[in-house]
Chain A
Amino acid sequence: MYNSTGVYNTTGTFETIILAECTLRNVSYSVYFDSTNGAQILTIDRKDVLNDLQAGVVFDAWEPAAGDNSVDFTNATLMQQDSYYQVAAAYAQIVVGQVSYLSGVPYTDAPINTTSIGPLLGNTNTAVTEFVSALETLLTNVTLPLFSNPDYL
């Protein structure tokens, strides 16, 4: 269950807000690939959370301050975190949207609205729980095909 609150919009209508918090973690996966019947079946087991990922060091590497030549692009830990955040950034481009007001009426424009999990968006706890679960799954689904692409191995 997620906590909820609300605000009145400019037309005086009470709008419910449910806020979930998603953190990027380094986790261990165990994936079983089975193509013995022609179609490929994946059994995914997301195991232990290995560690949290701190964003600051990666952002500093992406855009170092003027004159700062200290970023070590051969540092394996930094490069791993960089890779993770590149995947997360791609994911964010799909999920992040805009809220605008037109004649006092709020509306959104987010790419995720047109994806397969867009219809799960809703303001009930049941809908949000389902939507958040789909968000977690989506990043996993984005991650796994990278292991089948030589560019990312």
Chain B
Amino acid sequence: MGALAYTGPSDSLMKIANAVAYGGSILPSSPPAPNSSYQQDFSGPAFVCSNASSADYAGFETALKSATSVGALLEENPTYLAWAPVGADDDDLYNLHSSPSDPLFDATMNSTSIGMYDLPTF
């Protein structure tokens, strides 16, 4: 255990992210002057999505098959679907992981991946 421990994004950042996600639109900003227009060029983060790689796909499928064969166990161990970065040692590796830890539902992903699983409640 290091001296520093990451506890997640700041509350102020979550406030903006939640407002955008639940509001469904970009939050307005204050223009520098009334009736003004301007352009900004900058670099920033973006997600670029595509089909999952065959390796990720196979890992996800194996993990999910393992998980669905032990439904009684999962009832006691709620498990994350979707992505969750947990690796601190390997570049660009993510694990599809569970909380609490469940080795039956552990698949290494090569990048941030999103599994969309057709569930009755959707």
Q: How large is the interface on B (under 10, 10 to 19, 20 to 34, 35 or more residues)?
A: 35 or more
Task: Give A32-89 interface residues, CB cut-off 8 Å to B.
Answer: 32-38, 40, 42, 46, 49-50, 52-57, 59-60, 62-66, 68, 84, 86-89
Contacting pair B17 A110 (CB below 8 A)? no
Contacting pair A17 B74 (CB below 8 A)? no
Among the listed A24, A31, A32, A66, which residue makes an inter-chain contact with B112, where contact means beta carbons less than 8 Å apart?
Answer: A24
Helix, strand, loop or mixed for chain A's interface? mixed
* Interface: A126 (CB within 8 A): no
| Per-residue interface assignment for chain B, residues 36 to 49, with 1 indicating a CB less than 8 Å from any chain A CB and 0 otherwise | 11111111111111
Contacting pair A17 B47 (CB below 8 A)? no
Contacting pair A63 B5 (CB below 8 A)? yes
A contact residues vs B (CB 8 Å cutoff): 1-3, 5, 7-10, 15-38, 40, 42, 46, 49-50, 52-57, 59-60, 62-66, 68, 84, 86-117, 121-123, 128, 131-133, 135-136, 138-149, 151-152
B contact residues vs A (CB 8 Å cutoff): 1-6, 8-10, 12-14, 16-31, 34-53, 56-57, 60-61, 64-65, 67-69, 71-72, 74-75, 78-85, 87-94, 99, 109-122
Q: Which 5 A-B pairs have the closest CB atoms?
A: A148-B29, A116-B24, A123-B118, A10-B71, A62-B6
26 A-B interface contacts by CB (under 8 A)? A15-B68, A21-B51, A21-B56, A22-B111, A29-B44, A30-B41, A31-B40, A33-B37, A34-B37, A40-B28, A55-B93, A56-B93, A59-B88, A63-B6, A92-B85, A95-B114, A98-B79, A98-B99, A99-B67, A100-B75, A103-B75, A105-B120, A106-B68, A133-B49, A142-B17, A146-B16
